[in-house]
A = this chain, B = another copy of it.
Amino acid sequence: MKASVLMQMRFDGFIGFPGGLIDPTDKTWEDGLNRELKEELNLNEKFYIDKSDYLFSSLNESRNIVLHFYAKKVTYEDFRAIELDSMNAEDFGSEVMGVIRPPLYQMPNGRGLSIFLSNEFAGNSLIQFLKSLLNLGLLSSTEILDAIKNTDKQ
- A97 to B102 alpha-carbon distance, docked (Å): 7
**Interface size of A as a range:** 20 to 34
B114 and A13 contact, CB distance less than 8 A: yes
Contact A93 B9 (CB under 8 A): no
**In this assembly, does A98 line the interface, its C-beta being within 8 Å of a C-beta of chain B?**
yes
- Which residues of B have CB within 8 Å of A77? none
Chain A 67-109 residues near chain B, CB threshold 8 A = 80, 83-84, 87, 93, 97-103, 107
Instruction: Look across to chain B and name the residue whose beta carbon is closest to the beta carbon of A105.
Output: B11
Q: Establish whether residues B98 and A13, one from each chain, have CB atoms under 8 Å apart when the complex forms.
A: no
In the bound complex, how far is the Cα of B102 from the Cα of A99, in angstroms? Answer: 12
Partner of A84, one of B13, B14, B80, B84: B84
Closest CB of chain B to A124's CB: distance in Å?
A: 14
User: Are A100 and B13 in contact, with the CB atoms below 8 A?
Assistant: no
Among A13, A15, A102, A113: residue with most chain B CB under 10 A: A13
Q: Is A129 an interface residue (CB 8 A)?
A: no
Residues of A participating in the B interface, judged by any CB pair closer than 8 Å: 4, 9, 11-15, 80, 83-84, 87, 93, 97-103, 107, 111-120
A-B contact pairs, 10 of them (CB 8 A): A9-B9, A12-B115, A13-B118, A14-B111, A14-B115, A15-B119, A80-B87, A97-B103, A100-B100, A119-B120
